[in-house]
């Protein structure tokens, strides 16, 4: 790299010149866009190294446990930058999602030191944290010796920071008093409508604005689109069925999972609001969902949209993004729209899933692993993933504000950014944090399956579900 | 030199005595490897032990077992497991026996068919389950298309609680019928020909020969095949989990799936261990009954001989 190009990159990293100015001047030096990006990335790495002793654990190897996901792919693609910055090495095992959390549970419950850090969701930390398997990241975040001065944790979206932070007291709010930072947000997703524009145009319908409207339009697609069914949502007997569009709509109808009184939890799935919402949701699946809905996971919901087998999905915004990319039959035909399911609600209330990085309490290289987590959740890596890879719901406000990222998304995925902006303000975890999360949501999914199959009426099914949940809470001493 | 010569027989004596212990060491290690987790499970099953509530861990005696008695979902698990086991073993036994009878004669064609029919047994049950999941997909599955030809256009296979059991039983039958078939075929071909030749000379009807000669002589093989399949079926996990994770609803929530969920998803070690201990009792009871029956049949056979 010539001195001029290096100075130019340094000036850009220091914020002394604008992106436009940088582009103009680097082009004048005869350096192409791809090469300029590489030079700029190297300058970011040098800038990080200059302000903090990133080489402190040089020669150490960190072992990661990863889930197969585009966010993990983005991180793996940038690992050389970490190696250059720290002199450390990174090894990882990567597993598909349907077995990933079993592997995590097996590794942590056996107190294995095999993995230093791993991917997790916030819900999992409600089990792993109280079990004593995770390190409270506050001890690192508040230690200037261990955390780079430009890390800027506050730059992460507040609801995400809070979502990975909990006191361990069942029912206590996320991010509340005495909360421990069990994990650091890394990439996330929120829930909105992704739809097949061709089908919608052909049937002359617009994206649904609320749940009754969605049912009507999805039913029309099932009847008139000549093959595709109306709306794809998850349905397997798993917690994963409850947390996406389902809980977002449930919350929008004013329903809650629990009431908390005197430190004790009581199921609220039998409330009037819950029953009203369930009636509609069940009707939606019966009239316009996939025939084998009860086996549907994230993969089937996405595949059907990408293959043109469904008219729309009410699921993760990033799932709609991935299905709009190359390799899918409907690539380039997917549109995005926010939804407030309750006709009386003004705004969406999307639940969120946050892929986060957690530090194993059984690691023999905790400090070194924290360096890795710090780098993987830094502005620099978040920016890399957002601009160049598919880390398309980044966790940092500064990355969302980045013009290059915005232009990239707006250019290739029209409507994605606007949908995010309309959905994000109230997007957060709407579950009440408690360690029986997986018991409750798996039972909930099973009950939903019985309602959709007409084995039990909605109202009766929810009364039974509430009784089951309350019994489990009592057995565990929290209800 | 005499000091040197003396230890030789002593060394031989030691090696000779150690040899049986050395030879049995691998078996001993395997036993230890089985006993340790068994004892650990038995102890855990007597505890309130959820990894997410480390401070709540306590010895509760038979508390987990007693809670099963009043838990409808436990009794549903017992019911589902019994139905699954009875249906799979019963149908596989009938089909396996029928196929074995058809292939009884040692001809080239029969030998080729018996080898070809072994193919499903070579397929891992979880993979077979995924294959069937694709074949029963209502959008593009060949079996969905096939049933649509007879007017069943909305047949939901494993997605419907009413047909989920049928679907997984079909997969189990596809995978394991060859196992029973090959065992019974080996049994049939090993039976002495004299009684059958005598019956043929006397003009005894085929049905009489089957029920009074073939079946009694084949019964040790039938009991053996049943024992293996019963133990396997009552512990079913892979086919059901790969197909529906125990759903829809609780329609396929057999012992192993529930125990798996209790540990890997709910981190409830105590309940998971108690479920497995109940399964162990059932398995032990079944194997004990079958082994006794097998001994009786063998003694009867030897008595006749």
Q: Do B138 and A292 touch (CB under 8 A)?
A: yes
Q: Do A294 and B137 touch (CB under 8 A)?
A: no
Q: What is the mean pLDDT of residues A117-124?
A: 97
Q: Of the candidates A106, A292, A476, which has its C-beta nearest B50's C-beta?
A: A476
Residue A164 to residue A119: CA distance in whole angstroms = 12
Residue B305 to residue B301: CA distance in whole angstroms = 6
Q: Confirm if A120 and A128 have CB atoms less than 8 A apart.
A: yes
H/E stretch holding A120 = strand A117-120
Q: Tell me, what's the pLDDT at A2?
A: 65
> Residue B268's closest CA among B278, B254, B258, B255?
B258
B162 touches chain A (CB under 8 A): yes
B50 touches chain A (CB under 8 A): yes
Confidence tier at A21 by pLDDT (50, 70, 90):
confident
Residue A128 to residue A108: CA distance in whole angstroms = 8
How would you class A142 by CB atoms within 10 Å of its CB: exposed for 0-12, middle for 13-18, buried for 19 or more? exposed
B195 touches chain A (CB under 8 A): no
State the CB neighbour count (10 A cutoff) for residue A208.
23
**A464-477 pLDDT per residue, tens:** 999 999 999 998 88
Residue A374 to residue A42: CA distance in whole angstroms = 18
Residue A428 to residue A445: CA distance in whole angstroms = 21
A-chain residues near B266 (CB < 8 A): 436, 438-439, 442
ipTM of model: 0.82
Percent of chain A predicted with pLDDT > 90: 86
> Residue B130's closest CA among B119, B139, B141?
B141
Q: Do A130 and B138 touch (CB under 8 A)?
A: no
Residue A404 to residue A425: CA distance in whole angstroms = 22
Q: Tell me, what's the pLDDT at B2?
A: 44
Q: Tell me, what's the pLDDT at B109?
A: 93
Residue A359 to residue A136: CA distance in whole angstroms = 8
> Residue A166's closest CA among A349, A431, A470?
A431
Residue B141 to residue B144: CA distance in whole angstroms = 5
Q: What is the mean pLDDT of residues A401-419?
A: 94
B279 touches chain A (CB under 8 A): no
Quickly list H helices, B45-160.
63-69, 72-102, 108-116, 119-122, 125-135, 142-148
CA distance B236 to chain A (A): 18
Q: Of the candidates B51, B133, B154, which has its C-beta nearest A291's C-beta?
A: B154
Q: Confirm if B292 and B232 have CB atoms less than 8 A apart.
A: no
Q: What is the mean pLDDT of residues A136-147?
A: 95
Q: Confirm if A239 and A122 have CB atoms less than 8 A apart.
A: no
State the CB neighbour count (10 A cutoff) for residue A134.
24
Residue A65 to residue A128: CA distance in whole angstroms = 15
A292 touches chain B (CB under 8 A): yes
Q: Of the candidates A309, A436, A446, which has its C-beta nearest B247's C-beta?
A: A446
Q: Which residues contact B156 (CB under 8 A, 6 or more apart)?
A: A291, A292, A294, B138, B163
State the CB neighbour count (10 A cutoff) for residue A168.
18
Q: Among B145, B158, B240, B265, which would you mutate to test the A interface (most chain A Cβ atoms within 10 Å of its Cβ)?
A: B265
Q: Which residues contact B11 (CB under 8 A, 6 or more apart)?
A: none
Give the Cα-Cα-Cα angle A68, A69, A73 (nearest 5 degrees): 95
Closest-CA residue in chain B for A461? Answer: B249
Instruction: Tell me the two tokens of residue A406.
Output: 């915005």
Q: Confirm if A118 and A72 have CB atoms less than 8 A apart.
A: no
Q: Do A127 and B56 touch (CB under 8 A)?
A: no
> Residue A318's closest CA among A144, A146, A455, A188?
A188
Helix/strand/coil percentages in chain B, nearest 5: 80, 0, 20
A226 touches chain B (CB under 8 A): no
Q: Tell me, what's the pLDDT at B10?
A: 55
Q: Do B245 and A453 touch (CB under 8 A)?
A: no
Residue B68 to residue B78: CA distance in whole angstroms = 11
Residue A234 to residue A300: CA distance in whole angstroms = 8
Residue B6 to residue B17: CA distance in whole angstroms = 18
Residue A190 to residue A354: CA distance in whole angstroms = 9
A95 touches chain B (CB under 8 A): no
A-chain residues near B159 (CB < 8 A): 291-295
The alpha carbon dihedral of B155, B160, B163, B169 has a sign of positive
Residue B170 to residue B177: CA distance in whole angstroms = 10
> A360: which strand partners?
A134
Residue B247 to residue A451: CA distance in whole angstroms = 12
Q: Tell me, what's the pLDDT at B304?
A: 57
**B204-260 pLDDT per residue, tens:** 898 999 999 999 999 989 999 999 999 999 999 999 999 999 989 999 999 999 999
Q: Tell me, what's the pLDDT at A49?
A: 66
CA distance A26 to chain B (A): 53
Mean predicted lDDT score pLDDT of chain A: 93
Mean pLDDT comparison of A15-29, A40-54, B278-292, highest-scoring range: B278-292
CA distance A313 to chain B (A): 17
CA distance A127 to chain B (A): 5
pTM of the model: 0.87
DSSP B158: G
E strand intervals along A268-333:
310-316
Residue with the bigger pLDDT between A405 and A8: it is A405
Q: Do A290 and B138 touch (CB under 8 A)?
A: yes
Instruction: Tell me the two tokens of residue B193.
Output: 């020909």
CA distance A100 to chain B (A): 11
Q: What is the mean pLDDT of residues A105-121?
A: 95
Q: What is the mean pLDDT of residues A444-448?
A: 97
A130 touches chain B (CB under 8 A): yes
Q: Tell me, what's the pLDDT at B8?
A: 55
Residue A233 to residue A220: CA distance in whole angstroms = 17
The alpha carbon dihedral of A8, A9, A11, A15 has a sign of positive
Q: What is the mean pLDDT of residues A96-111?
A: 91
Q: Tell me, what's the pLDDT at B13?
A: 60
Q: Is the pLDDT of residue A267 over 80?
A: yes
A-chain residues near B244 (CB < 8 A): 236-237, 294-295
- Count of A–B CB contacts within 8 Å? 102
Q: Of the candidates A295, A439, A445, which has its C-beta nearest B266's C-beta?
A: A439
B-chain residues near A127 (CB < 8 A): 51-52, 267
A-chain residues near B154 (CB < 8 A): 291
Q: Confirm if A195 and A337 have CB atoms less than 8 A apart.
A: yes
Q: Tell me, what's the pLDDT at B1?
A: 41
Q: Do A446 and B159 touch (CB under 8 A)?
A: no
Q: Do B247 and A475 touch (CB under 8 A)?
A: no
Q: Which residues contact A313 (CB under 8 A, 6 or more apart)?
A: A193, A194, A195, A231, A232, A233, A245, A301, A302, A304, A305, A319, A320
Residue A239 to residue A235: CA distance in whole angstroms = 10
> Residue A330's closest CA among A197, A219, A193, A189?
A197
Q: Which residues of chain B have a pLDDT value below 70?
A: 1-13, 301-305
Q: Tell me, what's the pLDDT at B170?
A: 96
Q: Render A239-257 in DSSP notation, one character per residue.
A: GGGTTTHHHHHHHHTT--S
Rounded to 5 degrees, φ, ψ at A264 are -110, 145
Q: Which residues contact B88 (CB under 8 A, 6 or more apart)?
A: B169, B172, B173, B176, B229, B233, B236
Closest-CA residue in chain A for B73? Answer: A468
Q: Do B250 and A446 touch (CB under 8 A)?
A: yes
H/E stretch holding A259 = strand A258-261
Q: Do B244 and A106 touch (CB under 8 A)?
A: no
Q: Tell me, what's the pLDDT at B11?
A: 57
Instruction: Tell me the two tokens of residue B81.
Output: 């497991």
B69 touches chain A (CB under 8 A): no
Quote the crossing angle between the two packed helices B72-102 and B215-234, to the nearest 10°.
Answer: 140
Give the 3-state DSSP-derived string for A164-215, with helices as H, strands as E and coil as C.
CEECCCCCCCCCCCCCEECCEEEEEEEEEEEEEHHHHHHCCCCCCCCHHHHH
Give the Cα-Cα-Cα angle A288, A289, A292 (nearest 5 degrees): 140
Q: Among B51, B163, B273, which would you mutate to test the A interface (most chain A Cβ atoms within 10 Å of its Cβ)?
A: B51
Q: Of the candidates A106, A309, A435, which has its C-beta nearest B52's C-beta?
A: A435
Q: What is the mean pLDDT of residues A199-211?
A: 97
How would you class B3 by CB atoms within 10 Å of its CB: exposed for 0-12, middle for 13-18, buried for 19 or more? exposed
Q: Which residues contact A83 (CB under 8 A, 6 or more apart)?
A: A89, A90
Q: Do B161 and A455 touch (CB under 8 A)?
A: yes
A295 touches chain B (CB under 8 A): yes
Instruction: Tell me the two tokens of residue B8.
Output: 């030789």
Q: Of the candidates A132, A290, A295, which has its C-beta nearest B244's C-beta?
A: A295
Q: Confirm if A337 and A416 have CB atoms less than 8 A apart.
A: no
Q: Do A236 and B243 touch (CB under 8 A)?
A: no
Q: Confirm if A420 and A431 have CB atoms less than 8 A apart.
A: no
Closest-CA residue in chain A for B70? Answer: A471
A-chain residues near B133 (CB < 8 A): 295
B148 touches chain A (CB under 8 A): no
Closest-CA residue in chain A for B262? Answer: A439
């Amino acid at each position: 790299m010539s001195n001029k190009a290096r100075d130019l990159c340094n000036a850009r990293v220091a914020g002394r010149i604008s992106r436009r100015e940088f582009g103009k001047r680097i082009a004048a030096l005869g350096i192409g866009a791809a090469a300029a990006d590489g030079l700029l990335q190297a300058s970011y790495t040098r800038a990080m190294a200059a302000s903090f002793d990133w080489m402190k654990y040089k020669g150490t190897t960190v072992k990661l446990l990863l889930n197969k996901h585009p966010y993990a792919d983005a991180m793996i693609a940038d690992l050389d930058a970490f190696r250059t910055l720290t002199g450390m090495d990174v090894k990882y095992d990567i597993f598909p999602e349907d077995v990933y959390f079993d592997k995590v549970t097996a590794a942590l419950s056996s107190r294995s030191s095999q993995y230093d850090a791993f991917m997790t969701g916030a819900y999992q930390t409600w089990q792993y944290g109280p079990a004593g398997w995770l390190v409270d990241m506050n001890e690192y975040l508040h230690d200037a010796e261990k955390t780079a001065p430009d890390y800027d944790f506050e730059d992460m979206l507040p609801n995400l920071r809070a979502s990975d932070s909990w006191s361990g007291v069942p029912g206590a709010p996320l991010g509340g008093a005495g909360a421990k930072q069990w994990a650091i947000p890394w990439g996330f997703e929120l829930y909105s409508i992704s739809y097949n524009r061709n089908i919608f145009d052909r049937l002359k319908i617009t994206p649904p604005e609320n749940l009754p409207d969605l049912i009507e339009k999805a039913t029309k697609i099932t009847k008139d689109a000549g093959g595709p069914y109306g709306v794809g949502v998850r349905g397997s007997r798993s917690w994963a069925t409850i947390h996406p569009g389902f809980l977002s709509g449930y919350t929008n109808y004013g329903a809650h999972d629990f009431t908390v009184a005197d430190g004790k939890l009581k199921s609220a799935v039998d409330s009037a609001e819950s029953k009203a919402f369930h009636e509609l949701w069940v009707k939606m699946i019966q009239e316009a969902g996939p025939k084998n809905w009860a086996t549907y996971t994230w993969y089937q919901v996405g595949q059907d949209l990408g293959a043109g087998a469904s008219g729309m999905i009410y699921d993760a915004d990033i799932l709609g993004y991935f299905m709009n990319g190359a390799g899918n039959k409907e690539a380039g035909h997917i549109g995005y729209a926010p939804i407030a399911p309750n006709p009386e609600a003004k705004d969406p209330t999307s639940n969120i899933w946050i892929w986060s990085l957690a530090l194993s309490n059984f690691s023999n290289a905790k400090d070194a692993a924290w360096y890795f987590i710090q780098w993987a959740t830094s502005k620099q890596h978040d920016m890399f993933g957002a601009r160049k890879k598919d880390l398309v719901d980044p966790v940092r406000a500064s990355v969302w504000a980045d013009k290059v990222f915005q232009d990239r998304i707006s250019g290739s995925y029209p409507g994605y950014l606007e949908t995010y902006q309309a959905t994000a303000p109230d997007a957060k975890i709407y579950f009440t944090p408690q360690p029986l999360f997986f018991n409750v949501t798996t039972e909930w999914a099973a009950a939903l399956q019985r309602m959709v199959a007409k084995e039990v009426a909605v109202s009766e099914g929810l009364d039974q579900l509430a009784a089951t949940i309350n019994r489990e809470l009592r057995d565990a001493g929290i209800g | 030199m005499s000091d040197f010569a003396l230890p030789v027989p002593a060394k031989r004596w030691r090696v000779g005595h150690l040899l049986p212990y050395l030879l049995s060491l691998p078996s001993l290690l395997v036993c230890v490897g089985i006993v340790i987790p068994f004892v650990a499970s038995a102890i855990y099953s007597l505890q309130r032990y959820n990894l997410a509530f480390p401070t709540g861990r306590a010895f509760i005696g038979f508390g987990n077992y007693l809670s099963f008695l009043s838990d409808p979902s436990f009794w549903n698990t017992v019911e589902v497991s019994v139905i699954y086991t009875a249906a799979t073993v019963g149908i596989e036994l009938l089909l396996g026996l029928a196929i074995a009878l058809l292939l009884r004669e040692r001809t080239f064609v029969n030998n080729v068919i018996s080898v070809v029919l072994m193919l499903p047994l070579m397929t891992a049950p979880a993979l077979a389950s995924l294959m069937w999941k694709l074949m029963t997909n209502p959008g593009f599955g060949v079996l969905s298309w096939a049933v649509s030809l007879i007017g069943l256009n909305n047949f939901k296979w494993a997605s419907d609680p009413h047909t989920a059991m049928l679907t997984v039983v079909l997969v189990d039958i596809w995978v394991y019928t060859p196992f029973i078939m090959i065992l019974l075929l080996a049994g049939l071909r090993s039976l002495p020909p004299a009684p059958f030749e005598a019956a043929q000379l006397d003009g005894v009807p085929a049905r009489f020969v089957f029920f009074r000669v073939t079946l009694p002589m084949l019964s040790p093989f039938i009991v053996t095949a049943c024992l293996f399949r019963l133990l396997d079926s009552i512990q079913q996990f892979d086919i059901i989990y790969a197909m529906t994770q125990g759903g829809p609803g609780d329609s396929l929530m057999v012992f192993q799936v529930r125990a798996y969920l209790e540990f890997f998803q709910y981190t409830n070690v105590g309940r998971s261990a108690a479920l497995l201990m109940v399964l162990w009792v059932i398995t032990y009871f079944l194997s004990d009954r079958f082994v006794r029956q097998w001994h009786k049949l063998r003694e009867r056979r030897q008595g006749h001989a």
